[in-house]
Amino acid sequence: MAISDAESVVMEVLWREHPLSADEVVAALTETTDWQEPTVKTLLNRLLKKRAIAADRDGRRYLYRPLLERADYIHAESKSLLDRLFEGRVAPLVAHFSERRKLTRKDLDELKRLIKELDDEH
């Protein structure tokens, strides 16, 4: 499922808290965007058509909730990035970041920990 950058901003709101009305989504987004109500409602409708979210009637309004799990979205986006730019390999991605910007000691320690965990599993 292809989710645009703008749609992912709406999804982040719904992943943090749900169900929410359209007005509540608009209010949550005013903190980080300058989007008006029609823009947010358009994005909600796009997400409904993609079946990334569901809308349940609550009186005269709808309450929106995610159908797409955040972990599944992150997995798909990460895989897409790796496939497009690094032939599906993680090592060149890490090498790219180490060449382009210095990895912090914390980053290096975390990578070492992850590699050790993976080694222990195999």
Tens digit of pLDDT per residue, the chain (122 long)? 899 999 999 999 999 999 999 999 999 999 899 999 999 999 999 999 999 999 999 999 999 999 999 999 999 999 999 999 999 998 898 888 888 777 888 988 999 999 999 888 87
Q: State whether 44 and 95 are in the same domain.
A: no
> Looking at the 3D structure of the chain, how many domains does it have?
2
Residue 11: domain span: 5-66
Question: Per-residue b/e over 98-109, b at no fewer than 16 CB within 10 Å?
Answer: eeeeeeeeeeee
Cis bond leading into 38, ω under 30°?
A: no
Q: State whether 99 and 58 are in the same domain.
A: no
Q: State whether 62 and 97 are in the same domain.
A: no
Q: State whether 61 and 104 are in the same domain.
A: no
Q: State whether 10 and 51 are in the same domain.
A: yes
